């Protein structure tokens, strides 16, 4: 081995050791680290690319479009969208999924105003700037849910303008779910007929389908598009997600590209072909029953965390059906050690599968000290 090769291997070994060590104290962000895709390693020898619409043939035949279509079909069922109406694709993550939903809303309602709450993911402000979409930020309630009175009054003032509403199905910091039933009641009460509702279901889109009496989360509740992350609850070494909408909407923006022989309906041109493969594999491996068990345990640990914090005099809480546990921001040392997500004077941990009761005990003990 040459000196250069030796140095390269040393750098790789050092990085791997660092990542393995840090993975043992990863509690503040919604990424499931309990996955194993070793059976898929042979696919890394090839250049695969899901360019273009997954429901269309492509001249670039080194792709996983067939598996991507199966993934979309399964999520359509999960989110109560009829297979004949469903369209979607595997994205690079929640931000791209939200951008697609907002892009679709703007294309269908070019004069519309986007309404979103102050607890909406930070990337949305950037997306709206990129899309040059008119927008109004709304107040949030203390639990992170949108302030419906502010929504009502703001739309009332602008009732002649089409509405594009950005609903949170699990806010970033507090895990709050906007009630789309109340939103639609407001629109009906104000006689607003031109509207589009997008749901950011990055994390809770894989929780609410598996609990009793959830807030509405699917297309049957009135959503026009929904984005879910793949690297969060499902778990994946590469950030990814799913964007879902209705086929007749997409037909409005599709155009044929001769170069690759495929319809251009996605935001990206070249798209990752390995992430659809990974999601397909994970869904086959666990099934919805498997994720139901995973979600039940995550929720149980979240409740355990709330109780343990409170027992030690630390006021912690969580929203219903949420694995996000909110508590006062601890010391910088604790934040850094456990990679906890802070915001203002609060912080949270998210009880992903690697955040066990034992891990919770250690975090609480460090916060007390």
Q: Cα dihedral sign for 349, 354, 359, 360?
A: positive
Q: Is 229 a catalytic residue?
A: no
Q: Checking DSSP bridges between strand 113-117 and strand 135-138, what pairing results, if any?
A: parallel
Closest to 63 measured CA to CA, from 295, 289, 270, 219: 270
Q: Name the nearest CA neighbour of 275 among 98, 92, 59, 58.
A: 92
Catalytic one among 58, 256, 322, 331? 322
Radius of gyration of the chain measured on its C-alpha atoms: 22
DSSP labels, 24-77: GG--SS--------GGGGGGGGS--B--S-TTS--S--SS-HHHHHHHHHHHHH
Return the bridge partners of 342, or none.
347
| 105 within 8 A of 147, measured Cβ to Cβ | no
Q: Are 159 and 191 in contact (CB under 8 A)?
A: yes
φ/ψ of 304, rounded to 5, equals: -60, -40
* C-alpha pair distances (Å), 60 with each of 216, 256, 311, 326: 39, 14, 59, 47
CA dist 172 and 166 (Å) reads 14
Straight-line distance from the first to the last Cα atom of the chain, in angstroms, rounded to the nearest whole number? 49
Report H helices in the chain.
3-22, 65-78, 94-108, 123-131, 148-157, 180-189, 247-250, 274-311, 332-338, 357-368
Residue indicated by tokens 């640990």: 301
Q: Which residues are catalytic?
A: 322
């Amino acid at each position: 081995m040459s000196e250069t090769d030796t140095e390269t291997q040393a750098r790789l070994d050092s990085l791997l050791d660092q990542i393995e060590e840090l993975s043992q104290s990863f509690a503040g962000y919604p990424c499931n680290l309990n996955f194993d895709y070793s059976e898929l390693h042979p696919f890394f020898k090839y250049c695969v690319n899901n360019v273009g619409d997954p429901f269309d043939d492509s001249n670039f035949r080194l792709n996983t479009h067939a598996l991507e279509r199966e993934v979309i079909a399964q999520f359509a069922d999960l989110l109560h969208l009829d297979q004949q109406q469903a369209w979607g694709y595997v994205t690079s993550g929640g931000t791209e999924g939200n951008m697609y939903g907002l892009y679709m809303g703007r294309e269908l309602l070019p004069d519309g105003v986007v309404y979103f709450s102050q607890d909406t993911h930070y990337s949305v402000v950037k997306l709206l700037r990129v899309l040059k979409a008119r927008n109004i930020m709304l107040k949030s309630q203390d639990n992170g849910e949108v302030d419906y009175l502010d929504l009502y009054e703001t739309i009332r003032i602008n009732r002649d303008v089409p509405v594009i509403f950005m609903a949170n199905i699990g806010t970033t910091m507090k895990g709050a779910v906007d009630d789309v039933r109340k939103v639609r009641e407001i629109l009906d009460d104000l006689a607003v007929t031109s509207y589009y509702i997008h749901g950011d279901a990055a994390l809770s889109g894989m929780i609410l389908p598996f609990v009793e009496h959830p807030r509405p989360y699917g297309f049957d509740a009135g959503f026009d598009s929904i984005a879910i992350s793949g690297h969060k609850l499902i778990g994946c070494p590469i950030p990814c997600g799913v964007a879902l909408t209705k086929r007749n909407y997409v037909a409005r923006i599709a155009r044929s590209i001769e170069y690759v022989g495929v319809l251009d309906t996605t935001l990206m041109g070249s798209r990752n072909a390995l992430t659809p493969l990974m999601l397909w594999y994970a869904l086959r491996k666990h099934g919805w029953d498997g994720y139901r068990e995973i979600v039940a345990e995550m929720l149980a640990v979240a409740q355990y965390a709330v109780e343990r914090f409170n027992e030690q005099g630390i006021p912690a809480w969580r929203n219903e059906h949420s694995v996000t546990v909110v508590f006062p921001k601890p010391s910088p040392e604790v934040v850094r050690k456990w990679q906890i997500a802070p915001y203002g004077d609060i912080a949270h941990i998210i009880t992903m599968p690697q955040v066990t009761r034992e891990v919770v005990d250690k975090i609480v003990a460090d916060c007390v000290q």
